[in-house]
Structure 1
Amino acid sequence: MSDTPRMSDRPEGFPGAGSLSWRYLGQWRLLTTIGRAIVLETAHPVVDAGVVEFSTYRKHPWRRIEQTLLSLQRLLYQDEADREREAARLRRLHGHVNGVDAQGRAYSALDPEAQAWVHLTVFDAMVLMCELGGDPLDEERQAELYAEWLLVGLQFGVPADAMPGTVEEFRVWFDETVRDKLTAGQGVEQLLDALGRLPAPAALSFVPEAVWSAGCAAFGAAIRTVVASTLPPSYREQLGERGRVPFGAETMVSLACRTAAVASDLLPTKWVYMPLAATYIAAKREAGRGLRRFGPHDRAAEPAAQLADLFVRILDQTGDGVLSWPDLAALARVFSDRLDLAAVDEEVMYAAFHAWWDELRTTADTDGDGVVDADEYRVLADAAPGAAMAALMVSVAAAVDRDGDGRIDQADYARLLGADAAATQRIAWLHAMDADGDGVVTVEEFADALRESVLGRARSDTLEFVLGRA
């Protein structure tokens, strides 16, 4: 009996940065084996019936491929709230795909067995991608990747009892399904035929139709050969002539896959990974730079420089060298404009900033001149934050949380930062505020990060970007 842990024995937690799923799913070289996955998925009788009746790949193949790859990336790389939205979208979409097939059998895209098959063929594609690329996964890493992919399946809504619990059980189930369940039906036939009639993608729309048609025939034949060479031999036999692989084709495909694997090791992330995956991977690497907390060594080494920079560039909006109500009113105006607040919400924002100003005058204006200079403000860095300041930061964070769900998601954050910030920056800066590392930035975490930044205890790229520019 295998000692590989079953899904129920695995620690809870969705695969994140550093996981095998993150490493392999988003690589462009998955295109070398994703064709196998698509054909095997379509060969399932339930999927075949849905594809024949509902799929748009015959007319819009590039759009379908793009949407499929984008959806896979969304289910894995995005933050929890965004993953949940994508999973819910897919469930709604598949809920409309049902009917009666040509043999009079009822089918539904939400059939648990079909869902499990579609999901786990992607795992199979990742394993084969590594094998053909010359960097095969050993037993331990296959088990680890499989356990991760089961969690992704649960996120998507695949019932746990529909998926084999271990990678060993998966292999038996996979072979039995290929042998006993898959068919060379109309959906697969149409899919393979469509490869020879691919329309020019939008980026190549300038190519004359005659030129494209001539090249497409050869291109389609090459794709069909690649796909056929990666299929299980038993299913290739079912396809007959369509599954025939020319002599030497498997060697050429293996060479191409190994070349792609070597290139993936040498090229930068943005070229190795698909756009969404590359953005999140790069953002995770940069996230630690978004909010850098200053420890005792930092405070001892350069407290004056840090606080002086914060005071001059962020807080002193009027540039007169001191803090007064006009400075804080300017901050309120920037946040209100950025978030496009309604009149009543804008009044709340101004009132919160004014309450902080009243608190500042009471706690920091030691000489009673009605303003707070840099030396007076510096004392606050080592003091407990006042109630008005804490309330202000919560008010700002709550205003950013436009849908009121208690979380700051990418849409909320992008509204604050505007279109100027690149996606990688936005994702990295937001993740830097995730204090407990659970993949969700709560309103409280966002407020805490802003407060620590305003007190000079940490450096926040969010404040730098929103408030520090001339």
Structure 2
Amino acid sequence: MADRGASFKRDLSEWRIALVAWRLLVLQAADPVVGAGMAEHSTYRAHPWRRVEHTLGSGRRLFYQDAEALRREVARLNRSHKRIRGTLPDGRPYDARDAATRVWVLLTLFECVVAMRRLGGDPYDATQLEAAYREFREAIAAFELPEEELPRSAAELPRYFARYARERLEFTEAARYLLNDILREAPRPRRLWFLGDAGWRVVRAAVARVIRELTVADLPPVVRERLGLVSSRRAALLSVVLHRGVGAVVPLLPDGLRYRSAEEVRRPPRRFRPAGDARGSRVDRFFREVLDQTGDGCITVHDLKAMAHNVCWQLELSEDAEARVYRAFEDWWEQLRAAMDADGDGRVSREEFTAATLAGCDRDADYLERGLLPALREVFAAADTDGSGFLEFDEYRAVFGGPRVHPAELSHGFRQLDGDGDGRITEEEFLRGFTEFFTARADSTAGAQLLGRP
């Protein structure tokens, strides 16, 4: 096989990185801090594909763009991680800003690229490995991580991984769910709309089994031992066949097919559901697909924080502006809890939400004026970057667009909100459209895209 050199960024952009993607997620989730953050603050259960999209998008900004884009992405991540903290089930505090955890998360990305090449039959030699590690270190310098936490050279990585695995890693609930359950329950990706729900269930079961066996086989032995996992001979054979087979084919492809381009593949517009659903069915679906962001069957403050995160993620906001968005969504949660938490347990179940909504609690003036509407006003203010009092299409696209949004769908959402058809959205039009959406009285392309579809 021809020598491809040692470019970490180039190797990271190969499509075959998908073969080690789940391995990467499990390695990261096995850190107790990451696992706890995923359990309490992440939307990965309800919206796994959006979570993957955010992760890949962040990686592109970290490794493939200019210094200014890198600086902004690091600032975005720092603001986001500042809010991810709490207490582990055993009482230990956790904080996503923990330096050792951040180093682990970043190094797992480098290690997975190294593993991809090794498993594919074209491993880095010692010189190439050090060159790739230097390239990686240059890219992550913007994080200003403590030097003592980072291995000084690639040659030290195996020792670092062994020590970290034995001292820090656990088979967290998040890692267990990623490995055993999430792919058996994951909603159909929108790009696979042609499979239908029945076809997706069949494909999903087969894919879940293959990915689990491949992931366990590919994990570093010290990690498998730490997590109590055993790889079968069949899984080991599957790993060899897949990695070597793809590793032999990929180098023969032209660069346009071999590497991910910056432009994502577009998919057909969404097939919208008919508007004739019964009110109860609409409310139930709205709870599951929109409000229950963390996918745990109830609404808590974490779901509203996840919504705020998804709004802020799309925009380049100042720390003060981002804090206002989060504060508004937390206030919305307090009003939602007060109106709908019938048993006072600090969360709103699907049954409580459905009963309260059908009874009209979501239209209560106090709930709207002190909860939902202030949150929507902050979203509008954040999106109105030029302060004109209107959302022009470019401003709308910054919040509601993205690589997964078909242009026709984007235009449709804009027209839904632009009630008078003058080519711009007023705050009144924005509030009216989203009030209908968040009270589960109308479908909205814009609303669904803002908070993420399954």
With normalisation by structure 2, the TM-score equals 0.55
1:252 corresponds, among 238, 262, 281, to: 238
1:261 corresponds, among 232, 247, 253, to: 247
2:214 corresponds, among 226, 232, 246, to: 226
Deviations 1:448-469 (A, max 9, x none): xxxxxxxxxxxxxxxxxxxxxx
Give the match's secondary structure for 2:94: strand
Give the match's secondary structure for 2:164: helix
What amino acid does structure 1 have at the position aligned with 2:240?
A: S
Shift of 1:278: 9.6
Instruction: Give the Cα–Cα distance (whole angstroms) in 2 for the partners of residues 158 and 37 of structure 1.
Output: 21
Change (3 A) 1:114 1:249: same
2:77 corresponds, among 66, 90, 96, to: 90
Instruction: Give the Cα–Cα distance (whole angstroms) in 2 for the partners of residues 157 and 199 of structure 1.
Output: 38
2:134 corresponds, among 121, 128, 147, to: 147
Query: Superposed, which structure 2 residues align to 1:443-454 within 5 Å?
Result: none
| Residue number in structure 2 paired with 1:198 | 186
| Alignment of 1:136 onto 2:123 | yes
2:200 corresponds, among 197, 212, 222, to: 212
1:160 corresponds, among 144, 147, 167, to: 147
| Residue number in structure 2 paired with 1:33 | 20
| Residue number in structure 1 paired with 2:66 | 79
1:236 corresponds, among 224, 237, 246, to: 224
Query: Superposed, which structure 2 residues align to 1:260-299 within 5 Å?
Result: 260-276=246-262
| Residue number in structure 2 paired with 1:458 | none
2:156 corresponds, among 169, 173, 177, to: 169
Deviations 1:390-416 (A, max 9, x none): xxxxxxxxxxxx99xxxxxxx9xxxxx
What amino acid does structure 2 have at the position aligned with 1:254?
A: V
Deviations 1:303-354 (A, max 9, x none): xxxxxxxxxxxxxxxxxxxxxxxxxxxxxxxxxxxxxxxxxxxxxxxxxxxx
Instruction: Give the Cα–Cα distance (whole angstroms) in 2 for the partners of residues 224 and 261 of structure 1.
Output: 20
Instruction: Give the Cα–Cα distance (whole angstroms) in 2 for the partners of residues 221 and 185 of structure 1.
Output: 20
Question: Are 1:75 and 1:156, in contact at CA under 8 Å, matched by a contact in 2?
Answer: no
Deviations 1:119-140 (A, max 9, x none): 0011110111001111110111
Question: Are 1:142 and 1:167, in contact at CA under 8 Å, matched by a contact in 2?
Answer: yes
Shift of 1:19: 6.4
Query: Relative to structure 2, which stretch is displaced further, 20-29 or 112-121?
Result: 20-29
Give the match's secondary structure for 1:134: coil
Question: Are 2:6 and 2:124, in contact at CA under 8 Å, matched by a contact in 1?
Answer: no
| Alignment of 1:65 onto 2:52 | yes
What amino acid does structure 2 have at the position aligned with 1:190?
A: Y
Identity %: 37
| Residue number in structure 2 paired with 1:341 | none
Instruction: Give the Cα–Cα distance (whole angstroms) in 1 for the partners of residues 52 and 153 of structure 2.
Output: 29
Shift of 1:46: 1.3
What amino acid does structure 1 have at the position aligned with 2:204?
A: C
| Residue number in structure 1 paired with 2:301 | none
Shift of 1:59: 0.9
Change (3 A) 1:151 1:159: farther
Shift of 1:172: 1.1
Instruction: Give the Cα–Cα distance (whole angstroms) in 1 for the partners of residues 105 and 226 of structure 2.
Output: 19
Shift of 1:263: 2.5
| Alignment of 1:103 onto 2:87 | no
- The structure 1 segments of at least 4 consecutive aligned residues displaced by more than 4 Å after TM superposition are none
Change (3 A) 1:273 1:156: farther
Shift of 1:98: 0.9
| Residue number in structure 2 paired with 1:123 | 110
What amino acid does structure 2 have at the position aligned with 1:231?
A: L
Question: Are 2:85 and 2:93, in contact at CA under 8 Å, matched by a contact in 1?
Answer: yes
Question: Are 1:34 and 1:122, in contact at CA under 8 Å, matched by a contact in 2?
Answer: no
Shift of 1:154: 1.6
Question: Are 2:23 and 2:218, in contact at CA under 8 Å, matched by a contact in 1?
Answer: yes
Shift of 1:225: 0.9
Q: Number of aligned residue pairs: give it.
A: 264
Give the match's secondary structure for 2:81: helix
Instruction: Give the Cα–Cα distance (whole angstroms) in 2 for the partners of residues 237 and 60 of structure 1.
Output: 30
Rg: which structure is higher? 1
Shift of 1:219: 1.0
With normalisation by structure 1, the TM-score equals 0.53
Question: Are 2:6 and 2:129, in contact at CA under 8 Å, matched by a contact in 1?
Answer: no
Shift of 1:179: 1.9
What amino acid does structure 1 have at the position aligned with 2:214?
A: V
What amino acid does structure 2 have at the position aligned with 1:179?
A: R
Give the match's secondary structure for 1:107: strand
Question: Are 1:150 and 1:163, in contact at CA under 8 Å, matched by a contact in 2?
Answer: no
Instruction: Give the Cα–Cα distance (whole angstroms) in 2 for the partners of residues 210 and 46 of structure 1.
Output: 37
Cα RMSD (Å): 2.5
